[in-house]
Amino acid sequence: MEMPDALFLILFPILGLILIFSFSYKTLKPKTTPPSDPASYPLIGSILSFKKNRHRLLQWYTDLLRLSPAQTITVNLLFGRRTIITANPENVEHILKTNFCNFPKGKPFTELLGDLLGGGIFNSDGELWSSQRKLASHEFTMRSLREFTFEILREEVQNRLIPVLSSAVDVGGTVDLQEVLKRFAFDVVCKVSLGWDPDCLDLTRPVPDLVKAFDVAAEISARRATEPIYAVWKLKRLLNIGSERRLREAIMTVHESVSEIIRAKKKSLDIGGDVSDKQDLLSRFLASGHGEESVRDSVISFIMAGRDTTSAAMTWLFWLLCQNNDVEKKILEEVKGIGSLGLGFEDLREMSYTKACLCEAMRLYPPVAWDSKHAANDDVLPDGTLVRKGDKVTYFPYGMGRMEKVWGQDWEEFKPNRWFDEEPNYGTKPVLKSVSSFKFPVFQAGPRVCIGKEMAFTQMKYVVGSVLSRFEIVPVRNNRPVFVPLLTAYMAGGLNVKIKRREQM
């Protein structure tokens, strides 16, 4: 017998007892809930609806939120556990800023990623988080880090990304653009964070073990969150079986590989090394006197946060541009006006139309579809929703991008012009309007706003401008791709495209 089957046999009778108890207890009468909330029964809460919709949670939550006058719903889970999901900007501001201290990530969240990320910035609260945040924020505002990052970006685009796409043109085959962009982003984030080059864009070589291990570890850790009963993954971890065994092996590879890089870096710093070796985050964290394990956790958090997010956003934008040629033309106009043959760091600031396109793509397809906190104490959200200590409180960028109340009747349209007060005209430099980060919390907002936001826009504008000015991208299939929300969302099956050289700019 397979071990997961054995686990099922242990849990099945327990679940059965709970169900029988709960059905006979109140003879299947649901508790009174607002019409927008899913039906909830004593003890088992909404677990039946949750299980039924588990494969389409995004759509289920979005539909329920549209029915809710306050754009907030409460899903009752087993044993009185509750998840509050909100798409209401005022609530989001309350959770992420006004009453920030009452909404830490909390143990239930940090446990999910704790084996992989330890106490790294992405996975910690309180003092542990704030000391790392201070150090990282300081480094991220340093001009030297921005220049170092841009140099890495320039090299990676000119010497790797463009040659890879050029050879796809020469061969005339198809490429999975999502995979190419993922490998590109992994190279960039490793060079910035570790000062180490995994060289993933060499498609002739197998993907390095560290990259594979990161993929496995991120996916299995994220899937823990979709288990309706957390005891399932905890028991599997205790018994070291199934997916939890694969997770343990992957985490071991990640930790060992990163520790090896840290030891090599320490050695090179001790003997003086090359100055360019000292620009990366790892060197900066080591120089600030942090211990090896805490530096390891910090840099793993950065790699985790920065690796698939930009590639996901760019993949969806490239797909959307294939459906909206007029928008693509306007990006080309913008790039042409700035300097198509070599975009410089300062030029990127002027690419406001391209930035609007990226924001619009992320409004519809946010790289982080949802994000949760856990209430430290009872509270009341601005829309009147009662929060109990321990409740999971989720703000939901994917649903928010689809709310008529937030974005108007045309929310479904890909319309970069909505990011400007006035329609941008050719010849004039369009100015982006200011949009509340609580209405568009794609990078989160408040004290924990994404630390890599500016770095991400720099990267995405540079890639989009450099690629579109040289190549035409034609998707192989015309069907609407499926958005899969794991820790970072991705396009199911990738974005398979044919690449053509662009005739003239």
Residues tagged in the binding site annotation for heme: 450
Q: Helix %, strand %, coil % for the chain, to 5?
A: 60, 10, 30
Give the CA radius of gyration of the chain: 24
Whether 353 and 336 have beta carbons less than 8 Å apart is answered as no
Q: Are strands 483-485 and 489-491 parallel, antiparallel or unpaired?
A: antiparallel
Annotated binding site: 450
Torsion of CA 369, 475, 184, 345, to 10 degrees: -90
Nearer to ligand HEM, 41 or 186 (CB): 186
In whole angstroms, give the CA distance from residue 65 to residue 81.
20
Contact code string over 300-329 relative to ligand HEM, x by CB under 6 A: -xx--xx--xx--x----------------
Judged by CB under 6 A, the stretch of 165-173, 406-414, 446-454, 463-471 that binds ligand HEM is 446-454
DSSP states along 177-246: HHHHHHHHHHHHHHHHHHS----TT-TTSPPPHHHHHHHHHHHHHHHHTT-SSHHHHHHHHHHT-HHHHH
Place of tokens 């900066």: 284
Site for ligand HEM in 38-97 (CB under 6 A): none
Q: How far is CA 139 from CA 261, 341, 413, in A?
A: 20, 31, 38
- The single residue among 92, 95, 96, 121 that binds ligand HEM, judged by CB under 6 A, is 121
Q: How far is CA 136 from CA 288, 299, 301, 431, in A?
A: 11, 10, 11, 30
Nearer to ligand HEM, 53 or 310 (CB): 310
Whether 243 and 223 have beta carbons less than 8 Å apart is answered as yes
Contact code string over 401-440 relative to ligand HEM, x by CB under 6 A: ----------------------------------------
If binding is defined by CB under 6 A, does position 113 make contact with ligand HEM?
Answer: no
- The single residue among 47, 189, 338, 489 that binds ligand HEM, judged by CB under 6 A, is 189
- Residue number, nearest CB to ligand HEM: 452
The site for ligand HEM, by CB under 6 A, has a size of 23
- The single residue among 50, 184, 443, 471 that binds ligand HEM, judged by CB under 6 A, is 443
Nearer to ligand HEM, 47 or 351 (CB): 351
Judged by CB under 6 A, the stretch of 17-25, 162-170, 299-307, 420-428 that binds ligand HEM is 299-307
As measured in angstroms, the least distance from the Cβ of 364 to ligand HEM is 13
Nearer to ligand HEM, 40 or 301 (CB): 301
- The single residue among 119, 452, 465, 481 that binds ligand HEM, judged by CB under 6 A, is 452
Site for ligand HEM in 126-165 (CB under 6 A): 133
In whole angstroms, give the CA distance from residue 49 to residue 47.
6
As measured in angstroms, the least distance from the Cβ of 148 to ligand HEM is 12
DSSP states along 411-467: GGS--GGGGBSS---TTS---BPP--TTTSTBTB-GGG--TTHHHHHHHHHHHHHHH
Contact code string over 361-380 relative to ligand HEM, x by CB under 6 A: ------xx--x---------
In whole angstroms, give the CA distance from residue 475 to residue 225.
33
As measured in angstroms, the least distance from the Cβ of 213 to ligand HEM is 19
Residues near ligand HEM, by CB under 6 A: 121-122, 133, 189, 301-302, 305-306, 309-310, 313, 367-368, 371, 442-444, 448, 450-452, 455-456
